[in-house]
Every structure is written in structure tokens, then in C-alpha cells.
């Protein structure tokens, strides 16, 4: 049986219609030509969903005469550099955070040492809020430490038993200040003038727990500028309870109850 002659080659006009990088089919059927690789740059010309970044890398490598293995090495190197950059940014963020915390700790330590070196001029006297109160005898700027709340550090379980004991023995006021879930400062029988500070719904001070040399301290800070003769107050932040304790602070923002 005679073999049919091969079809004539495509005219030049048809060759111009082909995408760049695609060779013309001499037989008229691409299936008879076998498999051949189309460059990535040619695919990107008619496949819009191709990754242009990869195509550009391949094109740059081909135009500069770089081998495919070297192009892959460059791509891996870029990924490694990107990961190192991200890790460096994370480490820098941690350092900045720790530096900010360190500055705050150093500031608290400096103020605490100053407070111990020169204590604020304070006195106790009768208070219209409740029983005895603590009064400033000098001007105290906002942000300054006023006094440390000193007492016996006990466990929370011991504090619960002592509170019930104080109620049974008729002690009108107990001075238990919770530091955390495990520790409570009891200033009922072992304390300083800090235990006489009364509650106010709009106080001029606030209580803050700081750590000095690994030990937690309760310090009273001034929230506003305190003038001589002004009573020192802070918010007790008692938890909500069914049995209410009346508040007599006299503030315009008084909540009516301590708890």
C-alpha cells in the first residue's frame, strides 16, 4: 500500500499566529510530533494563571546564561534569606518588649529605693469616711509612690481562717490585702500606716503590686497631685457579694457600696 505524501509546511502567515516558543507542526498534527518542553516564558504568554514571579526568575536565568540548577539554588537562597529576615524581626520585637518591661522594672526599683530612703510625710487622724484615715503632710506629685502596704505575708488558706477568727473575736476591721492567688498580706496586727488608708470610689491613689528582687510588694501610687492635708484614698476593689458594705466616701461618683 502506497504511503500518502507528507502535507506541505505551514505558510509563514500561520507561523506568525503561533505563540512564542511553540514550534510549528510539520505534519499538521501535534500528536505525531512527540513530546517537547515549552519554556516557562512561552507558557506565561498565553496562560495568565502562571506564576509570573517564577517565570521572571526563569527568564532572567535564561537570558543571563545561568543554568537551571543555579536558578534553583538562587530561589532556595531567597527563601532562606526571607526566613532569616522574619526571624530577625521577631527577635527584634522580643528585645524591644523586654527592654520596655526592663525600663518599667528599673523605674519601679528606683522609686521604691527613693521611698525607703526618704519616706513621705504622712499622719493619721480621724476620717469622715471611716474611723481613722491617712493624710498627706506634703505635696505629692502624680505618679509618685506614697507608701508601701506592709504586713505579714500568709497563704490564702490561712487568710480565710484568720478572717473568720477576726469576725468571731470582734475585731471591727481586718486588713487583708490579696497579692495573688497564693499570697495575702495581713496588716491587722503587723503593719504600718498604709493599713489606715480608706476606700473611695473616686480615689487620689491606686494600689499596685510590683516585684523587687524577686519579691512582690504592694505600693500605693498617687493618681493625682495630692495637696497637704488631703486624705489618702484608693479603691479597694472588693468582689461583688450579697451582703453589702455601705460606702461613706462622699464622692460625687460614689457607688453606694464597697462590694
Confidence of residue 170 (pLDDT cuts 50, 70, 90): confident
pTM of the entire predicted model = 0.56
Instruction: Please give the Cα distance from 134 to 193 (Å, whole number).
Output: 7
113 or 202, higher pLDDT: 202
pLDDT of residue 91: 64
Pairing of strands 233-234, 198-199: parallel
Percent of the chain at pLDDT > 90 equals: 25
User: What would the pLDDT profile of 37-65 be if each residue is shown by its tens digit?
Assistant: 777 777 766 665 555 444 444 444 455 55
DSSP letters for 21-86: TPPPPSSS-GGGG---PPPHHHHHHH-TTS-HHHHHHHHHHHHTT--HHHHHHHHHHHHHHHHHHH
Mean pLDDT of the chain: 77
- Domain annotation for the chain: domains and CATH numbers: 118-146+192-258 (2.170.270.10), 151-189 (no CATH)
pLDDT of residue 53: 47
> Does the structure show a pLDDT above 70 at 211?
yes
Buried residues in 63-79 as b, exposed as e (16+ CB within 10 A): eeeeeeeebeeeeeeee
The three-class DSSP label of residue 136 is: strand
H/E segment holding residue 216: strand 215-222
H/E segment holding residue 132: strand 132-136
Q: Which three cell numbers stand for residue 166?
A: 477576726
Confidence of residue 101 (pLDDT cuts 50, 70, 90): very low
Q: Evaluate whether 172 touches 199 at the Cβ level (below 8 Å).
A: no
pLDDT of residue 58: 47
pLDDT of residue 134: 94
Q: Name the DSSP letter for residue 231.
A: B
Q: Name the DSSP letter for residue 185.
A: E
Amino acid at each position: 500500500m502506497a504511503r500518502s505524501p507528507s502535507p506541505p509546511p505551514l505558510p509563514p502567515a500561520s507561523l506568525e499566529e503561533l505563540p512564542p516558543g511553540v514550534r510549528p507542526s510539520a505534519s499538521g498534527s501535534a500528536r505525531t510530533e512527540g513530546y517537547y518542553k515549552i519554556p516557562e516564558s512561552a507558557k506565561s504568554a498565553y496562560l495568565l494563571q502562571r506564576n509570573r514571579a517564577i517565570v521572571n526568575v526563569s527568564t532572567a536565568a535564561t537570558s543571563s546564561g545561568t543554568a537551571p540548577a543555579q536558578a534553583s539554588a538562587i530561589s532556595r537562597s531567597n527563601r532562606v534569606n526571607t526566613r532569616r529576615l522574619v526571624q530577625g524581626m521577631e527577635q527584634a520585637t522580643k528585645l524591644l518588649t523586654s527592654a520596655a518591661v526592663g525600663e518599667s522594672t528599673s523605674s519601679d526599683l528606683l522609686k521604691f529605693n527613693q521611698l525607703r530612703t526618704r519616706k513621705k510625710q504622712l499622719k493619721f487622724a480621724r476620717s469622715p469616711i471611716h474611723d481613722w484615715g491617712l493624710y498627706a503632710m506634703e505635696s505629692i506629685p502624680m505618679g509618685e509612690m506614697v507608701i508601701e502596704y506592709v504586713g505579714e505575708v500568709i497563704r490564702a488558706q490561712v487568710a480565710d481562717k484568720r478572717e473568720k477568727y477576726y469576725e468571731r473575736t470582734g475585731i471591727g476591721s481586718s486588713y487583708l490585702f490579696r497579692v495573688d492567688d497564693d499570697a495575702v498580706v495581713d496588716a491587722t496586727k503587723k503593719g504600718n500606716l498604709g493599713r489606715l488608708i480608706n476606700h473611695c470610689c473616686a480615689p487620689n491613689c491606686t494600689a499596685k503590686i510590683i516585684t523587687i528582687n524577686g519579691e512582690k510588694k504592694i505600693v500605693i501610687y498617687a493618681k493625682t497631685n495630692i495637696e497637704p492635708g488631703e486624705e489618702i484614698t484608693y479603691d479597694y476593689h472588693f468582689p461583688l457579694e450579697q451582703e453589702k458594705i455601705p460606702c461613706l466616701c462622699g464622692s460625687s461618683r460614689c457607688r453606694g457600696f464597697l462590694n
